[in-house]
Chains A and B, each alone.
Chain A
Amino acid sequence: MKNWLIGIIVGLWSVAAFAGGISLFPTVTEIILPPGTSYSDMIYITNTGDEAVTVEARVLGFVAPEGVPRFLEPQFDNYPFSGKDILTVEPAVQIIEPGATAVFTYELHMPDDLNPYGGRYVAAVFKVRPTASEEAQVVVATQVASIFLVSPGGEASPHLQMGDMRVYQFKANPRKVIIEAVVTNTGNLHISSDQIRGYIYITDADGYIVDEFPASTHTLLPGNSYMHQEVWYAPEDLPSGTYQFHFALVLFGPVGTSPEYLFMSQEVELNF
C-alpha cells in the first residue's frame, strides 16, 4: 500500500517561457485582392523582454463564429474559405534580441481559380519558442497573430440569416431574461463589425416600447454561424404579462446597394 501511495504521487511543474513579452504590428489587415493578384508587405515583431527569444512563424486558417478567431491546424482545416494556401511568411524562425524588432515578410497571392469564390481568412501566427528547463512538465508559451481578411471583390458579398429565436427567464432570477437567436452568414464574404448593427426592442401587449438596447454584433465570416445571446434585466416594477421581444439586424453594403434588414419577433409570457 505504501509503495502504491508513493508511486501514485504525481509531480507537475509548469514553467512559463519568459518574463518579457512580444508585440505585433499590424494586428489586422483587410484587403481586396482580385484573383490572380498578389500583395506583399511586412509584419513587425518586437521583443519587449530582457532576454532573447526565438519566434516561430506559422500560417493558419481560422474561423470565428463568436467573433474570436479559432485557428485551424492544417490537417483539420476543411473550412472552404480558409486562406491557408494563399499566404506565405518568411523567414520561418527568427531570434530576436531584447528590445529589438524583427521583420517578417509576407505575401498574399489570390489564385486565378477560386473555388468556392469568396473571401479568404488566414492568420500569420508568431509563437515564442519556450525555453523551458529540462524538468518542466508543463510549458506555458505565448503567441500573437496578425489577421488577414481577404476579399476577391467582384461577386463576393455577405448574406445574413437569422432563425430559432428563443426568449426565456433565468430560473434563479426571473427578472433576468435571455434572448437568443441563431445568426448565420450564408454569403461568401465576411461581415465586418463595422458593417452590422443590431437592436433589441421589448414591447408590451399593446405594442408600447418597454425597453430597448443595442445588440452586440461582431465580425462574422462566411459559412459561420453562432448563437447570439443577449441578457435583459426586466425593471423591478414591470408586472407579469405578455411581452414581445424584437431582434433587428441591419447589414450595410457598398454604395448602390440597399442595406439588408432582418427582423424577428417572439411573444413570451413573463412571470415574476
Chain B
Amino acid sequence: MRKGVIWLLLLLFATSCFLPVVGFAKKGGAGVKVKARVGGQILIEIASGDEISFEVDPVMNPEDTAVTEIVVRTNAAKYSIIGKFGEFLIGDYDLIEHEKFFIRSKAPGSGKAIDDWIVPKGEVVILKDEDGRTPGETTIVEYLLKVDFTVPPGEGRLEIVYTAVPAF
C-alpha cells in the first residue's frame, strides 16, 4: 500500500516536471518567430435578407430581385468580402449553370463592388479593399432570378456563404 503511494507521488512529480517542457515545445520550437499576430478583429453579420422570397413564373413574373445586407465591423485597415455560391438546383437543373441567377453588390465606401449583374459561379469577391477601421458598415448584395420556359418547375436550393477577410 505504502509502495503504491510512493509510486503515485513519484509519478505526479515526474508529470509536474515534464508538463512545462511539453507546454514550451507546443508553443514554439527553436527558430520559431512570430513576426505578426495581428490583433485586429473582424465581425460579420447579416443585418437583413433573412426571409427573402422569390416568386417567379415565366409568364406573369419572369424575374424577381432580393437583397441581403452584410454588416462588417473591423479595426483592420482594409477588408474584403467573399461570397461562395453552391449549386442552385431544381432537381438536376442548375439555375446558376444555366445563367438564370445573378448578383451585384454595392460598396459602403471606396471598396470595389460588383457594378453589373454577374452569374455567381463558385467563389466571387463581393467587395474588395474596402476601407476598414469601421464600427459597422453595410454592403448590399442584390440577387436577380430570371426564369423562362426552359426552367423546370420546382423549388431551388442554394447555400451562400459570405466570408469577411482583412487585407493582409
Contact = CB atoms under 8 A, between A and B. Distances in A.
A12 B27 contact: no
A161 interface: no
Contacts of B33: 31-32
Interface string A25-46: 1111111111011111100001
Interface in A49-80: 49, 64, 66-71
A29 B57 CA distance: 49
Contacts of A265: none
Given A32-B31, A37-B30, A144-B163, A16 B168 contact: no
A25 B39 contact: yes
Contact of A16 (B27, B35, B46, B128): B46
| B interface, size bucket | 35 or more
Contacts of A7: 153
A11 interface: yes
Contacts of A219: 167-168
Of listed B45, B49, B50, B168, residue having the most chain A CB within 10 A: B168
Contact of A21 (B34, B43, B128): B43
A104 B13 CA distance: 30
A153 interface: yes
Interface in A90-120: 107
B interface secondary structure, majority:
strand
B52 interface: yes
Given A8-B149, A33-B32, A49 B45 contact: yes
Contacts of A216: 129
Interface stretch (A133-141, A169-177, A239-247): A133-141
B57 A8 contact: yes
A144 B155 contact: no
B54 interface: yes
A107 B57 contact: no
A10 interface: yes
16 contacts: A8-B152, A12-B55, A22-B43, A26-B38, A27-B74, A31-B32, A32-B31, A69-B168, A71-B84, A137-B157, A138-B156, A140-B49, A141-B160, A142-B45, A144-B42, A144-B163
